[in-house]
Each structure stands twice: as C-alpha cells, then as structure tokens.
C-alpha cells in the first residue's frame, strides 16, 4: 500500500467512510449480501466499523469521524488517508513525506503508528 504526497480523498465522504473503504478489500460478504442486508453483511459491517473507529482512535482523529473530508484541515486529511491505507492491512506501507503539513500534535499521532507502539504498526 502507498500514500501519496498529494492527497487522494473523496471530499463529500465522511472520515469513517474513507477508512471503511479501505476495508472492502477483505470483505467476505458479496454485493448481493449487502443489497439484501444479510446477517453476514450486517455482522461484517459492524466489525468493520469497530476496526475503523480503532484506527481513528490510534491516530487521535476519532472525534472527526462524522465530518466530511473536505471540511478538514490539511493535516487531518493526511491522517485520514493514512488511516484508510492502514485499513487495507498492508504488509508494507510506503508513506510519501508522511509528516508534510502536520502540526506537532498530528506528528505525535503519526509517530505512534510508525514507531510500532500502535496496534496497526
């Protein structure tokens, strides 16, 4: 997985939706399960929501979960992109200038992930 220096977010989607998009790669429930609202799809969505919230908490942006990406400051957008990349559960995550544009508080949140002290590192 790779993040880019130029952010690639969908402006009208919420922070939590961005992170959950990254989790679709590992989804077991199919399209028809989701459309029909099957138990498997509901259980999987519930688990994904819990994991997404865990990632947002890890990056200290849980309080932003219901805001749209286009309403966030650059540093928060950057952390959302990193959370989405982590949601894919990559073996290797390449970050292109991950701290560019971040303030001290956001850099501390990012360092938890990159130092290995975070659950997702």
Residue 62 tokens, joined: 């849980």
Question: In 3D, which of 3, 9, 41 has the Cα closest to residue 24?
Answer: 41
Q: Is the pLDDT of residue 104 over 90?
A: no
How far is 31 from 36, CA to CA, in rounded Å?
9
φ and ψ at residue 55, rounded to 5 degrees: -65, -45
Looking at domain 2-114, its CATH architecture is 3-Layer(aba) Sandwich (3.40)
pLDDT mean over 61-83: 90
Q: What is the pLDDT of residues 8-44, one digit of tens each?
A: 677 789 999 999 888 877 777 777 667 777 787 788 8
CB atoms within 10 A of CB 8: 9
Q: Is the pLDDT of residue 56 over 90?
A: yes
Determine the pLDDT at residue 116.
Answer: 57
pTM value is: 0.75
pLDDT of residue 121: 44
């Amino acid at each position: 997985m790779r993040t880019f220096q130029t952010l690639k977010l969908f402006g009208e989607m919420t922070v939590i939706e961005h992170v959950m998009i990254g989790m679709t790669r590992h989804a077991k429930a199919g399209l028809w399960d989701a459309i029909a609202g099957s138990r498997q799809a509901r259980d999987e969505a519930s688990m994904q929501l819990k994991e997404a919230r865990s990632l947002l908490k890890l990056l200290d942006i849980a309080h932003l979960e219901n805001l749209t990406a286009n309403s966030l400051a650059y540093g928060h957008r950057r952390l959302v992109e990193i959370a989405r990349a982590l949601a894919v559960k990559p073996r290797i995550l390449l970050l292109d200038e991950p701290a560019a544009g971040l303030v001290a508080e956001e850099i501390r949140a990012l360092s938890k992930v990159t130092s290995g002290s975070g659950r997702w590192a």
